[in-house]
Amino acid sequence: MSPELARAESLIRGIPDYPSPGILFRDITPLLADAEALRTTTAALVEPFDGAFDVVAGVEARGFILAGAAALAAGCGFVPIRKAGKLPRPAASIDYALEYGTATVEMHDDLPTGTRVLLIDDVLATGGTLAAGRSIIERLGYTVAGISVLFEIDGLGGRDVIGDLHTVFHSS
């Protein structure tokens, strides 16, 4: 790992028992507030997929921030995958399980069929959120060009659900 990435990783805080007991929340706010750390991690998120995608999609909420920065850095557009009820005219929705509950995501269908989408989120835990993101992208007729996350929580089985993806940091 480069010194720049190691420094960026050191800015991520662990918050125990949030949002519920037994969960160790990874607070990326200090990383986001540091321009160089944000630039470094954004580059690391998109680098393996350079030239392979047309647009970046991010999952609400922290995935929005990273995907928006990634889209800007890559010179392409950003597409939100939102929580239920947040889009004015969702074209598709998918229910999924989280490690601490259930949720629904929705997405518009504003892209041409076959658009290559790089899916970005902040964390891979059990894989439910990213699997839902991948499914909704494919349901709308787009191609998932890759999946990239800021960090993966090892031992929760997310990689078994998602398969091949790029991870910037690993966390136990």
- 133-164 pLDDT, tens digit per residue, is 999 999 999 999 999 999 998 888 899 999 99
Contact 60, 82 (CB under 8 A): yes
Contacts of 17 (CB under 8 A, 6+ apart): 23, 24
Q: Which of 151, 83, 139 has its CA nearest to residue 109?
A: 139
48-171 architecture in CATH?
3-Layer(aba) Sandwich (3.40)
- 86-121 pLDDT, tens digit per residue, is 988 878 999 987 766 788 999 999 999 999 999 999
List residues with catalytic annotation.
62, 99
pTM: 0.93
